[in-house]
Amino acid sequence: MSVLVDSSVWRIGYLRGTGAADVVDQLIQDNLVVTNDLILAELTPPLQLRSEKRLISLL
C-alpha cells in the first residue's frame, strides 16, 4: 500500500518535527511514500533552502 503524503503534512508535520514526522519517517524507510508533481513543486524550494538533499532525492 502506497501513501500519498499531502504537502500540508510535509510542511506542517514533517518539517516542523511534530508527531507526524515519526510516521512519515517510517513510511519513507518502508518505501511507501508516493508524491505527485504539484506536491513536489510546493516542497522542493523550501527543502532546497534547508539543504535537505537526502529528502529531495528520496522524493
More confident residue, 27 or 16: 27
Spatial neighbors of 6 by CB under 8 A, at least 6 apart, are 39
Instruction: State the average pLDDT for the chain.
Output: 81
More confident residue, 30 or 12: 30
Spatial neighbors of 48 by CB under 8 A, at least 6 apart, are 56
* CA–centroid distance for 29 within its chain: 12
Number of domains within the chain: 1
Q: Which domain holds residue 37?
A: 3-58
Residue the block writes with cell 529531495: 56
**What's the pTM?**
0.66
Cβ pair 21, 10 in contact under 8 A: no
Q: Looking at residue 56, what is its pLDDT?
A: 67
Q: Looking at residue 7, what is its pLDDT?
A: 84
- Answer yes or no: is pLDDT of 34 > 80: yes
How confident is the model over 11-32, as a mean pLDDT?
A: 83
